Amino acid sequence: MIAGIDIGGTHTDAVLVDNGRIVAKSKIPTLHEDLVKTVQRSLTNLTEKKKAGGVTRITLSTTLATNALVEGALETAGVLVCSGPGIDPLKYSIGPAFHLVGGSVDHRGRETEPVDTRELDRAASECREKGVRVFACVAKFSPRNPAHELLLSRRLAPHADFITEGHRLSGMPGFGRRIATAYYNAAVWRLFNRFADAASSTAAALGIGPDIHILKADGGTMPLSESRILPVLSILSGPAASIMGIQALFPVNRDAVCIDIGGTTSDIFFLADGVPLFERGGIALDGRNTLVPSLFSKSIGVGGDSHVRMESGRVTVGPRRLGPAMATGDKAPTLTDALNVSGRAAYGDVSRSQGGIGLLAKQHGADPGRLADEAVSFAANAVAREVERLVAAINERPVYTVRELLHERRLVPERLLLMGGPADCLAKPLGAALGIEAGIPEHFDVANAIGAALTKPTRCIELFADTAIGIMSVPALGVRKAVPAGYTESDAERDAARLLLDRLKTQGVGLGGVEVETTYKSTFSMVEGFSTVGRNIRIRCQVKPGLLYDLVENKKE
């Protein structure tokens, strides 16, 4: 049996899956001050009648790190940065202990200026005086050559409890993103580890095996051991839980748009040939872009609790939220009230909805039924226009080869998948506004927990080889070694896959069903004068994301 627990903003959902069947569900309010207790209660609810010992794997989707970041409840992390020429590095200043240290490495990983160790020591002692114990060390182009980050890290080590080196987060480019990501990682490290300790002892007390996973925003999981050093990868995993859940509950293999309709907002996702689309670069948090890989998801301020009002003679819905529907005792009419009045839903006290919409209609000399219909179609159209805008933006994503540009694959959603409270009653209007047939999966009330339970572990790495310099490196794994001049793209592809699998093995991830795929490869001949001096090889490979298995009650469309 495997368990999935999605700790959400309001509710914590949990499911227990046995041989592809959902055997238990739980929904309880999230106790923000005590997430461990929330996990504990969910687990107890799930395993009431069964032996908890039968649970072999738990996956948690937790808001712990996200909340800490958004609420600013962070430990002071010292940030030491080597920049070199480019955009003014002070623009990336983050946290109360941000220090620039001289030193620079260029785009090929060549040192162009050594680290200024006097500046480094000064920064380190200032941090020490402030009592800083966790650090982020970040250098521009560190994935090409991590030497400067390693030097910073070595000097700080005697006085540090934890250090994040930028190149270990990702091999992807983005200096500003790397700084923010490393800072966040260091600043939530202690908090997250306390949670991880408590979660493992809770599981142990219930007799559940050690296989605890944390859901990531990229639609994969990581073992608890890895989340202890990369806690930042746990942020904003909620949308990933939804999209993995919807894939489990309603598998499609075509292009699709998925909409999770909530109270205040609705989240929009896309599937290309049934595979979730990724965010370019990485997720944004608290106004800063990061290198945290993520599935593509966008929020729009239209949901069941969105306020229905008249603005210059026209019905408008959202984006302000005024509270729950009048049907459940609130003062202003919402989209849910409009759905009630238009006869599409019968949620709570329908007569109160009629009162509220009726009053609004009277004030503006309109017919209540028509006003409700207009509100529903306004909301559906707002969501549909946003979907269309997003599809256009996705199809405008740049490519860098003539071949890709001339034979581009465009995203054309042919299926609409809906989940969330008002999904049932919005299916028709939304389907009509988008001109696509809508489908609603069963069990969508706990889709997030199902997604968490069934998600596979993933990991993505980048390999760079520069045969002119004679170096191959996989920054995220800390691998850097000499290669001969004859090192080729297929050598690199093979090495990357092997290193990735080795890493999973040492982390104790079961390799059954694990498939490594190359998602990007390129080789450039490097020419100096008129002769070729080497090859510049770039490989990105990943454990193919997906579900551990399909739910038995579903058949593929």
Partner 1 sequence: MICAARTTGIVFFPAFDWAISPTHPEREERLLYTYDQLAEEGIFDIDGITEAKPDVVGKEDIERVHFLFADFDRTVTPSHLVACGGAVKAARLVMEKRVEKGAALVRPPGHHAMKSVQGNRGFCAVNNEAVMLEWIRSHYGPIRTAIVDTDCHHGDGTQDIYWYDPDTLYISVHQDGRTLYPGSGFPDEKGGGRGIGKTVNIPLPPGTSEEGFLHALEHTILPILEDYKPDLVINSAGQDNHYTDPITNMRFTAQGYARLTELLNPDIVVLEGGYSIQDALPYVNLGIILALAGTDYSHVREPDYDPDSLREDGETREYIKAVCDTALREYFVPSVPLPEPGRFLEREKRIYYDTDCITEHQKESILACDSCPGVRIIKSRSSSRPLSIGVEIPMKGCERCREEGHRIAGESKKSGRYEKVLLIDRCPQG
Binding site for partner 1 (CB under 8 A): 83-89, 91, 104, 106-108, 112-113, 140-141, 173-177, 281, 287-289, 396-403, 405-406, 522, 524-527, 529-532, 536
Cα–Cα distances in Å, from 257 out to 217, 244, 377, 415, 439?
A: 18, 13, 19, 6, 11
Q: Report, in Å, the least distance between residue 69 CB and partner 1.
A: 16
Shortest spacing between CB 280 and partner 1, in angstroms: 9
**Is the CB of 311 or the CB of 396 nearer to partner 1?**
396
Mode of pairing for the β-strands spanning 21-29 and 284-285 = unpaired
**Closest CB to partner 1 among 106 and 119?**
106
- Rounded to a whole number of angstroms, the minimum distance from the CB of residue 257 to partner 1 is 21
Shortest reach from residue 396's CB to partner 1, in Å: 6
Which of 112/253 has CB closer to partner 1?
A: 112
Residue 103 or 441: the one with the smaller Cβ distance to partner 1 is 103
Smallest Cα–Cα separation from 62: which of 13, 15, 28, 26?
13
Distance of closest approach, residue 372 Cβ to partner 1, in angstroms: 37
Give the separation between CA 527 and CA 152, rounded to whole angstroms: 34
- Torsion sign, CA atoms 167, 171, 177, 182: negative
Element (H, E) at 448: helix 447-454
For residue 406, the minimal CB distance to partner 1 (Å) is: 6
| CB 536, min distance to partner 1, A | 7
Q: What string of H, E and C letters represents the secondary structure of 212-234?
A: EEEECCCCCEEEHHHHHHCHHHH
- What are the DSSP E strand ranges found in 414-550? 415-419, 438-439, 460-466, 471-474, 479-482, 516-528, 531-543
* Nearest residue (CB) to partner 1, 262 versus 475: 475
Between 205 and 405, name the residue whose CB sits nearer to partner 1.
405
Q: Are 483 and 277 in contact (CB under 8 A)?
A: no
Q: How far apart are CA 359 and CA 333, in angstroms?
A: 9
- Closest CB to partner 1 among residues 89, 420: 89
H/E run at residue 370: helix 368-395
Closer of 91 and 331 to partner 1 (Cβ): 91
CB 154 within 8 A of CB 165: no
CA 493 to chain centre: 26
DSSP letter assigned to residue 444: G
Token readout for 315 is: 């019905």
CB 256 within 8 A of CB 418: no
* d(C-alpha 231, C-alpha 332), whole Å: 41
Nearer to partner 1, 201 or 395 (CB): 395
Kindly give the pairing relationship between strand 21-29 and strand 288-289. unpaired
Nearer to partner 1, 281 or 431 (CB): 281
Residue closer to partner 1, measured from CB, 253 or 395: 395
Tell me the closest approach of the beta carbon of residue 27 to partner 1, in angstroms.
Answer: 37
Least separation in angstroms between residue 468's CB and partner 1 is: 11
**By the 8 A CB rule, do 146 and 479 touch?**
no
Please tell me the distance from the alpha carbon of residue 398 to that of residue 209, in angstroms, as a whole number. 46
Nearest distance, CB of residue 286 and partner 1, angstroms? 11
Contact 161, 133 (CB under 8 A): yes
Min separation Cβ 87 and partner 1, Å = 5
